[in-house]
Every structure is written in structure tokens, then in C-alpha cells.
A and B are shown apart, each in its own frame.
Chain A
Amino acid sequence: MSIHKYNRLTLIVAFIFAAFILNAQKNFTMYHLSQTTQANYLNPGFKQENRFYINLPIGMQNISFMNSGFKVSDALEYRTQDDSLELKPNLLLAQMKDLNYANFEMSNELFGLSFKIKENFISLSVRNRFQTRFTYPQDLFEFAFEGNGNDLLGKRASLDGFGLNLTSYFEYGLGFNRNINDKLTVGGRIKLLSGIANINTAKTEFGITTDANSFAITIDGSSEINTSNISPFTDSTVSYSPISSLFNFANMGFGIDLGASYQYNDKLNFNASLLDLGVIKWKTNVNNYISNDVNYTFDGINLNQALDSIDIFTELSDTLRSVFKQNENNESYSTALRTKFYLGGSYKFNDFFNSSILIYNEIIGQKYNVGTSIAGNIQLKRWLSASVNYSIYGRSYNNVGFGLNLKGGPVQFYAMTDNILAMINPISAKHFHISFGMNIVVGPIKENKKIKQETREKERQERKAGNQPKVEKVETADPVQTKETN
């Protein structure tokens, strides 16, 4: 195994552990700032005004961490006598649910291009997607922090659901967007996927029960874990280059995104999208680990054998090896993408301020997660727009998002986070998220500009005549551009 592979593995592990203390977001801010070109990734049905964009010099970079179980600050207890902190890991337990999860997600737009042909908006994209989800039961931490001799004595410490899911793949997308009429815009994207690596914890049902009287420890459960292209990280005899996955589609998958936006009236807009509906079939370097149903009780060493001078540790080792024997095979398997869908709506108070609400839904395996967000968005200038939002997700209630969208000529730059508090006080945050990028954007056609100039001249003349201006929405490439009319 090359040093690079070890480094990559180390990086992955570091990210996984980072997910414990940081958080993840679902691009609420970008969805609220829908005029950002890359918001099309979140809803391919958003109405597109620009004629062309290309993600130069850098495409969208999106990184998020999320830990639903606790914040670092949850483990700290303030001590007034010396103005110091006491680290009490067991305090984390009160914050956890029975099952908790830590996510790390990364999306890198390697290539993005879109152009408009009449009313049809075509987009091409290549993205690197990396997603991990580490699911951990509360009892695991209780076992580690408090041991099995406190509350877990006489009970089953449940490790059901414990496991890691990791998916890394390249995504080739072909998008289409079209205004059906003045009110309705629909869009979709079909995606061809090339899997890089995967860990799929299909099943873990483990429990550790400590007998209250004898302290005998019973381990029960079973598990099934599928992996693809993980062995190159652990087995130097297996050669594998992740870069080759960019082109070879050895682990091929398909996915679709769908979206729609409906302008109910001048002020009210409804939108919805369904993302990442699809599967990847994993075929290369597959190792499936299946452990049969285990129910083993360790009562301590057999003292009778010890007195008979039998090598009890060898006996115990053989027993454990037999009990926890797992079957391995190399059969290909499929994993579903992390399907998610957004439901949103916005209300436009005036030309430069609107408020939007968003409900986020995610399905991972058989688990369903939901989050919600409400935002205030402003369009100060044509080149400056911003969003402040509040969101609830992953049992975290202190997430304040902030996003900024700047446009100078054809260059659009944006940076946003779903939880700016995590940057200010990271130990008190469950979520961390940042998204940024830069695009070359060509706006609406020049006829619009001409119409706009004529309109403005007309408004000016009307103001001179003493009439109050009246804001009227016009069809422009930029949805926040307005026209004042009498």
C-alpha cells in the first residue's frame, strides 16, 4: 500500500471523528438564496434567468459536519470556585437519544456548465460526492463513560444500529429546466454515477448484557457489512486508484433530481425538489462480512480447568473465535443514494426583502430525517444579496445561517453557512457547514436591459408629474430585478 493510501485513510478517519464535534447542514442558506446559480443543484426547478454560466475559476465547494448526539460544551461543567471547567463525559449522555448519528458530507463541483436555448436551460456538471454517516447508540457511550457497572448493570446495552456508512462517488449530471408558463417552472437532472468506495452497514444488532449478580457478560446480535474498494486501504496486495473511478464506471449507478417552482402570485412562491433518487451497484473489491446470530455469555474463566492446569486462555480464544466467526463473500451489492426532498415557499414583502420557509427531508437507508428553516433574504443591490436564516435539524436548535452573494460583472462569488454560530463558538455547536464558489455568469439578454431603461425613463417622468411609483415585477433574467411603474 502506498503512503498516499494511508494518508487518505487517515484523512477519512479524521473526518469521521471531526463529525463528532462539528455538524452538518443541508444547504438551507443556498436554497433560500435561490438566485445563486448552484441552487439549481438543490432544486432543478428553480427558474433560471441567466443565459450561461461556467464554474470558473472554482466550482461549488460544500463541506458539512453534523453530530446529532451532543455538543462538546455539553460535557463541560462550570466550576464557580475557580472559574474553570470540569470535563464530564457522562454529561453527554443526557443529551443523546437512543440512537445518534454523525455525518460528514462533501461535495466538490469539478465542472459546471449551463446555457439557455430559448426557454430551455441545459446544464452539465461533474461533482465529487463524499458522504459518511456514523451511527452510534447512546449505550455505547454510556458503556465507555460510565462502564457497565452503573446504570447498565443488569440491562442490555444496545448497540443496535451501530455502524458506519460511507459513500464516495463521481456524479455526471445532465440537467434540463424549462418555464412551462408564467407561473410554473420545472426541471430535472439525470445522473450517471461512478462509485469510488463504499462501506455499507446493512445490519448491526448487537447488545451487551451484564448480569447484575454474577457480572457475566452476554453478547448477542448479528451484523452484515458490505464494503467496496476499502480493502486497498488495509491490504497492500490489493491495488486500486480512486482516480480511475472517474472514468471507468466499474461501480455504476444512476440517479435523478426533479424540481418545480410555482409562482402563485406576485408575492407568493412555492417550490419543491426531489434529489438523489437512485442506486449504485458496487462490484469492485467487494468484501461482505456477515456474522451469524451470536449469543455468547462469558462467565469468567473456567476455574475447574484452571485447577486442572488446562490452558484456559487458549480455550477461551478458540471459543471466541468460533462464536464470533464471520462469513465473508465477494458478491456485488447495491446501495441507494441518500434521497432527500425539499418543500419551500417564499413571500416577497418588497423589492429587496423576502422571507422564505423550507422543510428538508432525508431518507438514509430506512431512517427518515427532517429539518426546517426560515429565512429573511435581502437584495440590497443587483450585485449584493444576503440571507439570514434559522434552522432546526438533527435535534439541534441553535443554528443560524448566513449567506452572501456577490456579483461583479460576469463574476459571481458566494459564501454561505447554515450555522455561523459554529464558527464563533464551535464547542457549542452541533452543526458546521460552509459552502462557497465562483462562477462566470452571463445574465439575461440585452433586450431586457433596453426594456428596463425605457421603463425607468417612463417612471422618472411619472415621478416628476407627482405620481407615486408602483412596483411591478417584470420578467428579467434576475428574479430580484424590479420595475417601478405607476
Chain B
Amino acid sequence: MNRKSLVLLSFSLFTLAVLLIGCKKKISKIANTGWNPNIAVPIGEATFEMSDLIVNIDSTFEVNSLGEISINYEENLDSVLASDFFTLDDYTENFDLTPPGLVPVPIFPNGEEFTNSTTISTSYSAPAGTEINTLNFNSGNLVLTLTSTFQHDATFSVTLPDLIKNGSPITRTINLNYLGSPTTTQSISIDLTDVAADFTAGGTLANSLRASVDATITGTGTPGNPIVGNEELHLDLSLNNLEYKNITGYFGQEVLTSATDSLLLKIFQSANNQGSLSFSNPTLTFNIENSFGVPININLGTFYSIDSITGQSHSLVISPSAINVNTPANMGQSASTSIVMNKNNTTNIDKIFDVNPRYLAYNLSATTNPAGNTGNLNFIESTSMMKIRANLHLPFEGSASGISASDTLEYSLDNDIDLLESVMLRLDVNNGFPVSFNAQITFVDENYNTVFTLFDTPTRVINGALVNNATGKVTSSVQKVTDVKLSSEKVNLLRQVKHIIVNGIVSTTDPQNTNVKLYDSYNIAIKLGIQVTLKN
């Protein structure tokens, strides 16, 4: 073999070797693909201020100038109007005005007359035990009805000295013209609008109205119209449809009102009967606005919280239970009375909220002139009223431990989950509230049988912010990242889920040793992300 052939052979072998090395075994079957990307994306973020949260719970929150948060439940316990307290009934009284000593005469000459003057006094039937001294009418009628059995004309002149209108006593003249009937009757009605009445008969009585009546009989001289001696004259006085502007007098010892009701405490609506809650500085205030010129005593019967789940009640010890209401000195005025109950003047006001009270129930009554008639005149106006309002002020200052709440959400799987290998939700919470939150989420089927739970046990997802033990104020927020993992098994079980029950347990920071305070400057920042592992 010459050198040229040797080189050629070497060249060929090298080329062949290269080709053989390049020819790897071909495997055409690709059995599977191993593509399992893991995608992490943020779902959303939110920062909730105190105001954002409380508006969703209750609309009665208040923020004071220091930024302290409290709940105010204001309730109108009772209202008493003048019309509820004192009304004027209709009244009628008959007076006999027949002249005494009538002598029968066959003919009473024409133009001859005789007169009988008399003073009468009514005794108005005011409610029992009450006395009316003066009364200014807003409206009403005084009806005078005269009846005569004389077969002659008669004239009556009536003067009511205790009913003053436009500065003058009311005076009326009534003529009865005999027309042949056995009885002659004539009525007049007097409008009492803006009439001032004095029921004291000159300062000596009460409920009394006086009238002086001059009755004159004038003969007709007609034969057959004698005076037989048994003729009568009568006056009917009626007070109808009486409405007062104001009254003075004494209105007796009356039960002004008696009320039983309750306040709904919305904040506890979602609470279960678990855990303990303590408001360290609640205040219960009664505000009474009174324009009756009558001494009134309010008796606070009972105040108690009701746990609507257990039905247990927890009574507030109130001392004293009888409260004298301030009265206005003059008509047109109103007097306020405020009774404040707090931990300084009660023994257990902070305890009645230690349960989960959904309601605060009460009963109370009010009585007029508790000391009887002391000689001081009462007064009432048509616009007089008494309002009793209760205000429960619950500063968010205290502690809570293990307070639980739950909610049930409807759930249906609309999305295809076949591509999901596993899912992890990441909750990143930076909490500025001195409240921690433990959660458990239970996935149940249509019969509310548990399919699976998100956590093995209720898990802390929000840590309470750090608090100054002395002031109860937050010193720094606390961040907590919670990963909620749904394994592939749980992802598959989602198909059976029809409802999701969310249970939350709330506790304040260090509830055994610290009363925390809530301020409107607190906030909580929540970031929610999801990490999904896909499968091919």
C-alpha cells in the first residue's frame, strides 16, 4: 500500500467513524412530558383603615378628638306628650233658674215683667286627683241652653266672669220668645278659642267656673196664658271639645309611662357563644328632656344584657334606681336631666358585656308629683313632652379572647382544575390592629358533610400588633405570612364542595394582661398571592 492509499484509507476510516459516532440510536417514542411550571402571581392587595372595617360592622362608631374608637348605641326609650298625660273631657251641668215664690195669676199683663238674678258656679270634672287653676284654651265650645216653660217671653243675660276673652268677661243675652209651645228652648255656642279661664273662683277653689244670670219674664197679657205657679227656667252649661294651650294646677300622682324594650347591639350579631369579651370602660347614659312643669320621678327597673344564644341575662346593678327629673321653671322652657352610669358609680357595668350580648333590655316607669301636692303649681302646655333616651357608649378598650364568628359561603367549581397540580395561597398581612385572628376553613358537600379542612387545626393567620401594656396603644405592627396549601388530593376534592364554612377566632394582644385600645389610625395591609403548580 503506497502512502497515497494509506492516507486515503485513513481519511475514509476517519470519515466513517465520524458518521458512526453521529448516528445515535433513534428513539422516536416520547412517552411523557415533564413540564410542571410553577406560577406565582399577586392576586390583590388592600389596606383597610379602621373606618373601612367598622362601617361594615356597625354604623354607630365614633371617633373622638384623640382618635379613640367607640360604639354609640342611642335609643329613644320613651316619649310622653302632653296629650298622653293630660286631656280635658267634655263637661255639662244644669242649673235651675226658676224664680222662687211664683204666684199663679190668670193673666200676666202685657209688658209687666219680673226678674230673677242669680250666680251659679260649675264644678268641672277634672281627672281624679287633679286640680285646674288656670287654663288657656286653644279651642273648645261653651254651649248655653236655656229652657222655659213660661207661656211668656223671657230674656237671659249671662255673664261668665272667669272666662276672659280679649280682656273682658264673656257676656251673652238670650231671648226666648214664647210661640205657643209648652216649652221654649234657645241655645247659643261660645267659642273658647284664646279664652283664658280661671277655675279658682277668685282664688278660693279649683276646677270651678262661675256665671251670673239675670232672667227676666215679660208678660204677654194674652188671655189663656196665665202663670200657674209651677213654671221653670233652666240653664244647661256644656264645655265641649276642649283643647288647652296651657294649664296650671295640680296634676296628681300619675304613672306617666311604663316601658319595656331592648337595644340591638349589632356588633355582636355574628358572634358565637364562645370566648370572652371585656369592655373595660362602658358608659350608660340616660338623657331626659322634660318640658312638663311637673315633678317627675323615673324608676329604672332593670337593665340587663341578653345572650340570645343561651338566653342568659346579666343585670346591671343600678343604684339609686329612682331618678328625679328636672322640671322647667316657666312655660316655654325645657329642662334636661342626665344620668351617667359607668364603672365609677356602678358595680358591674363592665361585666354585662363580658358575654356576647345581642340585646340590652330594660324596663322603666315615670311618676308625676312623687311627693304629692306640695302647693307648688304644676303646669303643662300643649307642646309639653318628656323624652327619655339611653346612650350606650362602648369605647373599644378592653380585651377579647377566643371570640369566634363564622360564615357560610356558597361554592361551586366553575373552572377546569385538571391543569392544577397544587395550589398555594399566600396571605401576607401587616397588621396594625391589636387583634389576632385564627381561622379554619371547612369545605363541605351539599349535606354539609366535611370534605376536607384547610388546616389541621385553626391556624393563626393574623398576629396582633404589639401593644404598650400601660396605655393599650399599639407600638408597632406585626407581619405574618401564611401559606395555605391545597395539595393535588385536595384540589381534586374541590369538585365535591358545595359550601365553605369560614370560622374565625379573634383575640386581642395578650388578653390576660392587657386592655387594648382601638384608634382610627390603625390599619391592616393585606396582600394575597397565589402559587400554582401546573401539570401537563
A-B complex is real: yes
How many chain B residues touch the partner (CB < 8 A)? 47
| A144 contacts across to B, CB distance below 8 A | 37
- 26 of the cross-chain contacts (CB-CB < 8 Å) are A77-B34, A79-B31, A84-B32, A89-B35, A90-B35, A147-B37, A147-B38, A148-B39, A149-B38, A149-B39, A149-B533, A153-B40, A213-B426, A213-B428, A216-B527, A300-B44, A300-B45, A304-B46, A304-B48, A307-B46, A350-B4, A388-B15, A420-B18, A424-B19, A425-B24, A428-B22
Given A86-B31, A86-B34, A304-B47, decide whether A210 and B22 contact each other with a Cβ distance below 8 A. Answer: no
Cβ A85 vs Cβ B30 within 8 A: yes
Interface string of B1-22 (1 = CB under 8 A from A): 0011001100100110011011
A215 engages B15 (CB within 8 Å): no
| Chain A neighbourhood of B8, CB < 8 A | 378, 380
Is A82 in contact with chain B by the CB < 8 A criterion? yes
A409 CB to nearest B CB, Å: 24
Which B498-520 residues have C-beta < 8 A from chain A?
none
Q: Max chain B CB contacts within 10 Å: which of A147, A350, A400?
A: A147
- Complex Cα gap A353–B3 (Å): 10
Measured between C-beta atoms, what is the minimum distance from B271 to chain A in Å? 23
Selected from B4, B30, B528, the residue in CB contact (under 8 A) with A87 is B30
On A, residues with C-beta under 8 Å from B are 76-79, 82-90, 144-150, 153, 210-211, 213-217, 298-304, 306-307, 349-350, 352-353, 376, 378, 380, 386, 388, 398, 400, 402, 420-421, 424-425, 428
- Indicate if B43 sits at the interface (CB-CB under 8 A): yes
Known: A145-B35, A376-B11, A424-B23. A302 touches B30 (CB 8 A): no
Task: Please name all residues of chain B whose beta carbon is closer than 8 Å to the beta carbon of A82 when the two chains form the complex.
Answer: 31
**A-chain residues with CB within 8 Å of residue B22 when the two chains form the complex:** 398, 400, 420-421, 424-425, 428
Secondary structure class of chain B's binding surface, majority of residues:
strand
In whole Å, how far is B20's beta carbon from the nearest beta carbon of chain A?
A: 9
User: What's the Cα separation between A82 and B3 when bound, in Å?
Assistant: 50
Decide: A353 and B35 in contact? CB cutoff 8 A: no
| A215-B34 in contact given A149-B531, A424-B22 (Cβ < 8 Å) | no
Choice from A210, A300, A398 contacting B43 with Cβ under 8 Å: A300
CB contact between B37 and one of A146, A302, A353 (< 8 Å): that residue: A146
- Shortest distance between the CB of B23 and any CB in chain A (Å): 5
Asked whether, in the complex, the Cβ of A299 is within 8 Å of the Cβ of B30, the reply is no
In angstroms, Cα B81 to Cα A187, docked, is: 121
Q: Is A388 a contact partner of B24 (Cβ separation < 8 A)?
A: no
Q: Please determine whether A302 and B11 come into contact, CB atoms closer than 8 angstroms.
A: no
Asked if A376 and B14 make an inter-chain contact with CB atoms under 8 angstroms apart, the answer reads yes
Per CB-CB distance, the 10 closest pairs between chain A and chain B, nearest first, are: A149-B38, A215-B529, A303-B46, A147-B37, A300-B42, A421-B22, A84-B31, A300-B44, A149-B40, A88-B34
Contacts of A303 in B (CB 8 A): 44-46, 526, 528
From the candidates B3, B26, B27, B530, name the one contacting A215 in the complex (CB within 8 A): B530
Whether a CB of chain A sits under 8 angstroms from the CB of B481 is: yes
Residues of A with C-beta under 8 A to B531? 149, 215
A314 to B56, CA, bound (A): 26
State whether the Cβ of B33 lies closer than 8 Å to any Cβ in chain A. Answer: yes
Tell me the bound Cα distance from A166 to B44 in angstroms: 41
Given contacts A83-B27, A298-B42, A424-B23, list 17 more A-B pairs with CB under 8 A: A146-B37, A147-B39, A147-B534, A148-B38, A149-B532, A150-B38, A210-B40, A211-B42, A215-B42, A217-B41, A299-B527, A302-B44, A303-B528, A306-B44, A388-B14, A424-B19, A425-B24
